[in-house]
Structure 1
Amino acid sequence: MASKIAFLVGGTHSGCGKTTVTLALMAAFQARGLQVQPFKIGPDFIDPGFHTRLTGRTSRNLDGWMLSRDYNVDRFLRSFQESQVAIVEGVMGLFDGYDGASEAGSSAEMAKWLGLPVILVVDAGSMARSAAALVYGYCHFDQDLRVTGVIFNRVGSPGHFQYLQSAMAASLPSVPVLGGIPRDQEVSLPERHLGLVMADELALDKPWAERLGELAERHIDLAELSALAGWDGDYLSRKTNAAAPVHPRRFDPDSPGSGVSVVEPSSLYQAAENPEASLELAISSPKQGAFPVTWDSNADRIVLAVPRDAAFCFYYEDNLDAVRDAGADLRFFSPLAGESLPQGTVGIYLGGGYPELHAERLARQLRFLDDLRRAAREGMPIYAECGGMMVLSRFIVTRDSEQFPMAGVLPFGTRMLKRRKALGYTEVLIRKPCLLGEVGVRMRGHEFHYSEIVEQEDQETLIRSYELQARHGTASVLEGFQIGAVLASYVHIHFGSNLDAASHLVEACRRFREKMGPHGGNRGTEG
């Protein structure tokens, strides 16, 4: 008999109730005294926050396009070791992924990689017998996929649920109906332009979690689900030699030129006759044997400042682990709470989030903004993604057309739009040496934003280090804005797609510390 339980919660489409059902199941198993390890498929930052708050364990992103099969399997196994239940929340519809011609990046692909049964969530709010036809299609679309149970969501009444059960029994008796969840506005999750509201912004208190758990206890057959989802790991042990998809190269420490070095700091906007020369503000082209990018465990760890609050809340946990493994001591702080760079900071990782919703408060954090400017002038490595890039810009214009000044490190402003500007996976090719790697290195990531760059100035000093290669038929875009030791982009790169990136970033910080001397780095502005 299997000692663990593991399954994937898939859906017929986005908005069918996957997240609510997933959270209800997590709460129910937790209430039964079982430790739940949560996972989320896809590049989402928001759902994992709910998982983490509810279970007390860090939810991990799995992704079949950004990350190799081996990486996903390893992440799953390592994270699942100390728990009794693994619940993987899918992304979009069960078969939706990178493109329409393959399963790449889909929940179905991940279920097969991990050998997990799929529990299909169906929005039955406006259906009766047709729901059985829909389920039939999902069960037969891919014969290698195991759809082992169905949960109907937004069921209108007990009579409606009985109708759905009889339809399934008549047309698809081999797939059990595990439950029917009624409409319940009290556990519905509010949304905003980038998806669900962040977990930290809602009162995810004990009564709310208990209500979710009770919802699953009353309306889902947890005993049958557990029996269908017994897991012993044998499938993965038999598949360890399966071919992995082609992904960006991993770091080879024996290859020539595998390093970055930081030169003397200079003025942030120093003019250069040769545009590429502005790299010399902070980063020089590597030479063979410069130094390894792998971390020496005997060396001191560097202090990497990471803002983390309602304005800066989009970080892949694997990215944070990667820079830790490369030798970084992460120091979290909250700009919205009036905190600034921790003492000893020699590098900054500005993640994304919702700076536009907190632009007025951020504009009042003068010490934080001044510290960003000073760090940039001194040549301290600063890596910023999406919202972090917006804070490094000159200003943010909100949806209400209010303009708030930001750090002004980057020579442009950003403006929020009413319609989405970009959404989707992207492959990053490094075309100019930068904090994350050398020319020719490839990484993978994701874009999702409603803002655009405006009033760009000082073209001569701003280098575009990235070539963004999106879907087939989409023109490449030059991006990855670099000035001095600052690298900023709309792309959220997953360091698991190329672990060199984390090592390069940490080494740049270490070199900066060496050049600044024994007392280099930020010297005590935290408060």
Structure 2
Amino acid sequence: MKQYPRLVIAGTHSGVGKTTTTLAILAALRERGRQVQPFKAGPDFIDPSHHRAATGRPSRNLDGWMLGKDLNRSIFTRVAADADLSIIEGMMGLFDGSSPVNDIGSTAELAKQLEAPILLVVDGSAMARSAAAMVAGYARFDPALHVAGVLFNRVGSDGHYQLLKAAVEQETAVTPVGYLRPDVALSIPDRHLGLVMAMEQGDGQLYHRLAKAAMETIDLDRIEALAHSSGTLPEAMFPPVIESPGRTIRIGVAQDRAFCFYYPDNLELLEAAGAEIITFSPLHDDLLPDVEMLYLGGGYPELHSAALAENVAMRAVVKRFAERGGVIYAECGGLMYLMESIRDFDGCSHDMVGIFPAETAMQKPGLTLGYRTVECSRRSILGDVGVTIRGHEFHYSTLVARRPLQYACALRDAAGLSKGQDGLMKSNVLALYTHLHFASQPTIAASLVGSARCAAKPVSVSAWDPPGAEH
């Protein structure tokens, strides 16, 4: 057993200010000299990018539905082992998950799996004594949870905070730890998929402003005390890594503003299976690196579709890579890049790689969102028929086929209901709308690496450069 100081930051509902609060606390603790390990509850790539910018440490996703208790604990204890304390940002409201009648997939479920105390974030802007009723309700709703503290967001003055604090202390055993003032300088712009990514925040001054705000109005000593009040957990039990025997496989991972959605665990599992990760940019590079597999993650190709279309050289070499039998694994934004075109929100069509005869069209409203179980219905680079893996969908685009398409996977939601097919397949190319978490199926990383090893011998960069490509 080992002590892992930890604290879950949960909100009463979406939009209450969990991310702003979390980032302020993370940044302030870092400025105090603490090694803080951030985590994010649920399937999310955006908030973790800000966690990393605020702490200097990669943030990890934990999810009750996708991963389950044992994997969540394994990931948590392994990554938190060298940290002074860990902060876990929740998702949506504390009790919101994949079902309205239980806590599966919720922040509450994760807090129980980690046996972690909870800091509740409440929008205090238009309340006084009523705040005590709200805090009491959340604290007593599930006796298995320990709602240890409360922080009020959007509080305009210390006088207002003192009213809220007095009410909560009179009616509950929950500890008020401070407040944050409303301040546009602390906000992060958002768009159709949520907040903008950390890489778009420029010089990082936002996180210094957040730290300063936290140090002025939040009792950070109490925050640390709450984290240290958590009990011990069994030390990390690492799940078996399934290796793919043979030489190291170089995987080119698309990494830029158009393609930036990756779980760190996915990349690490590929490395453990025998891969070396090499990053490249479909936006800015003319050539592929010398690799035997491409991993095109999600992101914002729809926002950069004109620039992606203009990079004719990269589109051509990716297509040629596929035509020569190279293994390509793509998710969501990566899938969109492999289509013939993307039609953006303004209705303009932009040419893409053209491996699959289809267009992806942006539609708002038109959100597809939810947990997914992906089951292989035919053998592919993911594995044999019957292999299942969990993930989620989150996109505003729809697929418009121009000719028949071949699918490799069946799709179900969290309730087990069919959601049709996923996994467009052509030769050694597989493109899904679903973002997969490889830890939910330990054979996946080895299958991808093994497929790449079988498919190709090392080929020089110039060999992937088709004649006539523009540079």
Q: SS of 1:47's equivalent?
A: helix
Show the counterpart of 2:314. 368
Whether the aligned pair in 2 keeps the contact of 1:308 and 1:332 (CA below 8 Å) is yes
Q: SS of 2:113's equivalent?
A: helix
The code of the aligned residue for 2:272 comes to: D
The code of the aligned residue for 1:506 comes to: V
Which whole-Å CA distance do the structure 2 matches of 1:341 and 1:392 have between them?
15
Between 58-67 and 98-107, the greater mean CA deviation after superposition: 98-107
Offset from partner CA, 1:372-431 (integer Å, 9 cap, x none) = 110111111111100000000000011011111000001101110111330010111111
Q: SS of 2:292's equivalent?
A: strand
The code of the aligned residue for 2:184 comes to: Q
Q: SS of 1:324's equivalent?
A: helix
Q: Is 1:199 paired with 2:148?
A: no
Offset from partner CA, 1:330-351 (integer Å, 9 cap, x none) = 11011222343102x1111110
Paired residue for 2:423, among 480, 485, 490?
480
Which whole-Å CA distance do the structure 2 matches of 1:525 and 1:409 have between them?
16
- Segments of 5+ residues of structure 1 without an aligned counterpart are 241-249, 253-292
- Say what the alpha-carbon RMSD is for the aligned residues: 2.1
Q: Is 1:498 paired with 2:447?
A: no
Q: Is 1:294 paired with 2:243?
A: yes
Q: Is 1:463 paired with 2:406?
A: yes
Which whole-Å CA distance do the structure 2 matches of 1:79 and 1:163 have between them?
39
Q: SS of 2:86's equivalent?
A: strand
Which whole-Å CA distance do the structure 2 matches of 1:124 and 1:236 have between them?
38
Paired residue for 1:441, among 379, 387, 395?
387
Aligned ranges for residues 68-79 of structure 1 at < 5 Å?
68-79=68-79
The Cα shift of 1:130 comes to: 1.5
Offset from partner CA, 1:226-278 (integer Å, 9 cap, x none) = 222216762446x98xxxxxxxxx999xxxxxxxxxxxxxxxxxxxxxxxxxx
Whether the aligned pair in 1 keeps the contact of 2:252 and 2:278 (CA below 8 Å) is yes
Q: Is 1:326 paired with 2:273?
A: yes
Q: Is 1:117 paired with 2:94?
A: no
The Cα shift of 1:109 comes to: 1.1
Q: Is 1:425 paired with 2:425?
A: no
When normalised by structure 1's length, the TM-score is: 0.84
The Cα shift of 1:473 comes to: 7.7
Whether the aligned pair in 2 keeps the contact of 1:18 and 1:89 (CA below 8 Å) is yes
Show the counterpart of 1:244. none
Whether the aligned pair in 2 keeps the contact of 1:333 and 1:339 (CA below 8 Å) is no
Show the counterpart of 2:301. 355
Show the counterpart of 1:410. 356
The Cα shift of 1:211 comes to: 1.5
Task: Give 1 or 2: higher strand fraction.
Answer: 2
The Cα shift of 1:204 comes to: 4.8
Show the counterpart of 1:453. 399
CA change 1:334–1:520 in 2 (3 A) is: closer
Show the counterpart of 2:223. 225
The Cα shift of 1:104 comes to: 1.1
Q: SS of 2:451's equivalent?
A: helix
CA change 1:420–1:204 in 2 (3 A) is: farther
Q: Is 1:184 paired with 2:183?
A: yes
The code of the aligned residue for 1:183 comes to: P
Show the counterpart of 1:341. 288
Whether the aligned pair in 1 keeps the contact of 2:178 and 2:219 (CA below 8 Å) is yes
| Length, aligned pairs only | 465
Runs of 4+ in 1 over 6 A off after TM superposition: none
The Cα shift of 1:300 comes to: 2.0
Percent identity (aligned): 44
Aligned ranges for residues 8-157 of structure 1 at < 5 Å?
8-157=8-157
Which whole-Å CA distance do the structure 1 matches of 2:9 and 2:81 have between them?
20
The Cα shift of 1:194 comes to: 0.4
Q: Is 1:216 paired with 2:162?
A: no
Whether the aligned pair in 1 keeps the contact of 2:329 and 2:431 (CA below 8 Å) is yes
CA change 1:93–1:49 in 2 (3 A) is: same
Offset from partner CA, 1:12-35 (integer Å, 9 cap, x none) = 011111111101111111111111
The code of the aligned residue for 1:74 comes to: S
The code of the aligned residue for 1:493 comes to: L
Show the counterpart of 1:311. 258
Offset from partner CA, 1:196-231 (integer Å, 9 cap, x none) = 1111111252x3322211111111111122222216
Which whole-Å CA distance do the structure 1 matches of 2:230 and 2:196 have between them?
36
Show the counterpart of 1:399. 345
Which whole-Å CA distance do the structure 1 matches of 2:212 and 2:339 have between them?
47
- Segments of 5+ residues of structure 2 without an aligned counterpart are none
Structure whose CA Rg is larger? 1
Whether the aligned pair in 1 keeps the contact of 2:374 and 2:412 (CA below 8 Å) is yes
Offset from partner CA, 1:90-131 (integer Å, 9 cap, x none) = 111111111112111111111111111100000112222211
Q: SS of 1:183's equivalent?
A: coil
Q: SS of 1:61's equivalent?
A: strand
CA change 1:338–1:473 in 2 (3 A) is: closer
Which whole-Å CA distance do the structure 2 matches of 1:366 and 1:167 have between them?
63
The code of the aligned residue for 2:324 comes to: E
